[in-house]
Amino acid sequence: MLRDRLNQALKEAMKAKEAAKVSTIRLILAAFKERDIAARTDGPDAGVGEADLVNVLQKLVKQRRDSVEAYEKAGRQDLADKEKAEIAIIDSYLPQQLGEDAVKAAIAAAIAETGAAGMKDMGKVIALLRERHGGTIDFGKASPLVKAALS
């Protein structure tokens, strides 16, 4: 489904002559192809699902955010702006992120379900959250919330 949306968006962007969008979508599709090839080495039954593709998109966004930070430190605002534009395009294909209240509710539910009692159970809680809300929770922001809830 995500691949179909991207292929359709690529065609539309090419017709509209939106060079930045075309290059970004091609970059995404190339990253998907790399993931497909990597999955082949995992065995013939290893497929690439939507969750894997969402993870690829999240990695691409993280890489771009790191680049923006580096470019801004180096005084290259033109390159930082280009990366920010790519982030906006990639973000438009990511699932809607849960709000802070919804994340806290999901964490509370995961703690209750796993029976987590302390910090030693943090891995169980994070694993359950990844399984249930993989593409909709930013785990960089969720980890401190889980730590606070388990403390």
Q: State the pLDDT at residue 89.
A: 94
Task: Please check whether residues 75 and 38 belong to one and the same domain.
Answer: yes
At residue 2's C-alpha, the angle toward residues 126 and 45, to 5°, is: 70
Q: State the pLDDT at residue 46.
A: 60
Task: Please check whether residues 52 and 15 belong to one and the same domain.
Answer: yes
Q: Which of 91, 125, 141 is the last residue of a domain?
A: 91
Pick from 141, 147, 74, 138: which is nearest to 111 by CA?
147
Q: Which of 69, 91, 113 is the last residue of a domain?
A: 91
Residue 116 belongs to a domain with what CATH number?
Answer: 1.10.10.410
* Structural domains in the chain (count): 2
Task: Please check whether residues 33 and 66 belong to one and the same domain.
Answer: yes
Residue 74 belongs to a domain with what CATH number?
Answer: 1.10.1510.10
Q: Which distant-in-sequence residues (6+ apart) come within 8 Å of 13 by Cβ?
A: 21, 22, 25
Task: Please check whether residues 10 and 63 belong to one and the same domain.
Answer: yes
Task: Please check whether residues 74 and 105 belong to one and the same domain.
Answer: no
3-state SS, one letter per residue, for the chain = CHHHHHHHHHHHHHHCCCHHHHHHHHHHHHHHHHHHHHHHCCCCCCCCCHHHHHHHHHHHHHHHHHHHHHHHHCCCHHHHHHHHHHHHHHHCCCCCCCCHHHHHHHHHHHHHHHCCCCHHHHHHHHHHHHHHHCCCCCHHHHHHHHHHHHC
Q: Are 134 and 54 in contact (CB under 8 A)?
A: yes
Task: Tell me the per-residue pLDDT of 36-74, one tens digit each, with 9 for 90 and over.
Answer: 888 887 666 666 777 788 888 989 999 999 999 999 999
Task: Tell me the per-residue pLDDT of 93-127, one tens digit each, with 9 for 90 and over.
Answer: 888 877 788 888 888 888 888 887 778 878 888 88
Question: DSSP character for 96?
Answer: P
Q: Which of 41, 67, 91 is the last residue of a domain?
A: 91
Task: Please check whether residues 65 and 20 belong to one and the same domain.
Answer: yes
**Domain containing residue 136:** 100-150
What percent of the chain stands above pLDDT 70? 96
Task: Please check whether residues 33 and 54 belong to one and the same domain.
Answer: yes
Task: Please check whether residues 133 and 61 belong to one and the same domain.
Answer: no
Tokens standing for residue 104: 């806290």
At residue 66's C-alpha, the angle toward residues 30 and 88, to 5°, is: 60
Tell me what the pLDDT averaged over the chain comes to.
86
